[in-house]
């Protein structure tokens, strides 16, 4: 089984997302993984906004790679350039700043598409001092937040990006307790099929609940391995992308 860990490396082809440089966090660990070659519009990205805030996101631009390269590239560039600007100030309201940031992403996607192009997205801002994530789930697969054996869903807070010029997005805040973790997966993970039955969110929850929370890379990798065991052709069906944030207990 082959996994690619995207880092800050040269672009593979014109229009492909720039490799995401994984930031070091104080008291937490974050990682993203993609399995195989990208065939659709998935990408993940990280950006440090200031010494205590890090932006992360998992986005899925609708369409095949051959038709959405430019849109993916524009969204990726906006994430890296505008995200830090929107979240840089120490005293800002994170919810308002996240809504502004998503507006900027929405504008860039619509401009690059010269019209409407759906882009499901889960975009979060991790506050290292508080151990919280202020997030927008724009029509994306629910984020999964785990603490001990409890797993809760972070469902959609708005429509996908790229649909309407005046879209608005709610930005709630969730705590990531010490010893807890947040897992994001692309639609291709939950929709991977075996004998016409999807892997589904429930199987993902069961797998996540049994995964050791020792590292973000391990959590992201375990989810990919689980879907590949379930549906051997999953990577041929759609993009398989995961992103994990782990907050180890004190002293770990």
Instruction: Give CA–CA dist 171/174, Å, rounded.
Output: 10
Instruction: Give CA–CA dist 245/26, Å, rounded.
Output: 12
Residue 252 lies in a domain: no
Instruction: Give CA–CA dist 121/172, Å, rounded.
Output: 15
The number of C-alpha atoms within 13 Å of 74 and in the hemisphere containing its C-beta is 19
Q: Are 87 and 49 in contact (CB under 8 A)?
A: yes
Q: Are 205 and 144 in contact (CB under 8 A)?
A: yes
User: Which residues on adjacent β-strands are paired with residue 124?
Assistant: 56, 135
- 176 Cβ contact partners less than 8 Å away, ≥ 6 residues apart: 28, 126, 131, 132, 133, 145, 182, 245, 247
Q: Are 226 and 204 in contact (CB under 8 A)?
A: yes
Element (H, E) at 233: none
Give the pLDDT of the chain (252 residues) as one tens digit per residue. 333 343 332 233 334 444 578 888 999 999 999 987 677 788 999 999 999 999 999 999 998 888 899 999 999 999 999 999 999 999 999 999 999 999 999 999 999 999 999 999 999 999 999 999 999 999 999 999 999 999 999 999 999 999 999 888 999 999 999 999 999 999 999 999 888 899 999 999 999 999 999 999 999 999 999 999 998 877 676 789 999 999 998 766
Identify the pLDDT of residue 38.
73
Separation in Å, CA 163 to CA 100, 145, 197? 16, 28, 30
Residue 18 lies in a domain: yes
Helix, strand, coil fractions of the chain, as percent rounded to 5: 30, 30, 40
Identify the pLDDT of residue 10.
27
Handedness of CA 93, 26, 130, 219 (dihedral sign): positive
- 192 Cβ contact partners less than 8 Å away, ≥ 6 residues apart: 198, 199, 227, 230, 231, 234, 237, 238, 240
Residue 199 lies in a domain: yes
Q: DSSP alpha helices (H): ranges in 149-199?
A: 187-190
Q: Which of 83, 91, 1 is nearest to 44 (CA)?
A: 83
Residue 172 lies in a domain: yes
- The predicted model scores a pTM of 0.90
Strands 143-147, 180-185: parallel, antiparallel or unpaired by DSSP? antiparallel
Residue 89 lies in a domain: yes
Identify the pLDDT of residue 71.
96
Residue 73 lies in a domain: yes
**In total, how many domains does the chain have?**
1
In terms of residue numbers, what domain contains 197?
A: 3-247
Residue 96 lies in a domain: yes
The CATH number linked to 72 is 3.60.40.10
Residue 154 lies in a domain: yes
Decide: residue 91, CB within 10 A, 0-12 exposed, 13-18 middle, 19+ buried.
exposed
- 242 Cβ contact partners less than 8 Å away, ≥ 6 residues apart: 32, 33, 34, 183, 184, 185, 186, 189, 219, 220, 221, 223, 224
The number of C-alpha atoms within 13 Å of 231 and in the hemisphere containing its C-beta is 25
């Amino acid at each position: 089984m082959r996994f690619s860990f995207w880092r800050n490396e040269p672009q593979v082809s014109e229009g492909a997302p720039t490799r995401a440089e994984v930031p070091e966090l104080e008291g937490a660990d974050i990682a993203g993984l993609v399995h195989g070659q990208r065939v659709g519009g998935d990408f993940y990205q990280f950006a440090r906004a200031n010494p205590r805030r890090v932006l992360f996101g998992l986005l899925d631009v609708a369409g095949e790679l051959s038709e959405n390269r430019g849109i993916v590239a524009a969204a990726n560039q906006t994430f890296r350039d505008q995200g830090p600007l929107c979240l840089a100030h120490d005293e800002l309201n994170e919810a308002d700043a996240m809504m502004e940031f998503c507006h900027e992403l929405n504008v860039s996607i619509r401009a690059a598409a010269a019209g409407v192009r759906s882009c499901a997205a889960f975009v979060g801002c991790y506050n290292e001092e508080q151990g919280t994530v202020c997030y927008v789930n724009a029509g994306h697969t629910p984020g999964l937040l785990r603490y001990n054996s409890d797993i809760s869903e972070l469902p959609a807070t708005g429509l996908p990006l790229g649909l309407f010029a005046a879209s608005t997005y709610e930005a709630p805040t969730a705590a990531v307790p010490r010893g807890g973790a947040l897992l994001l997966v692309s639609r291709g993970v939950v929709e991977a099929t075996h004998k016409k039955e999807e892997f589904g969110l429930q199987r993902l929850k069961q797998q996540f609940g049994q995964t050791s929370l020792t590292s973000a890379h391990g959590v992201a990798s375990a989810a990919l391995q689980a879907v590949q065991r379930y549906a051997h052709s999953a990577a041929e069906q759609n993009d398989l992308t995961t992103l994990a944030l782990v907050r180890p207990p004190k002293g770990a």
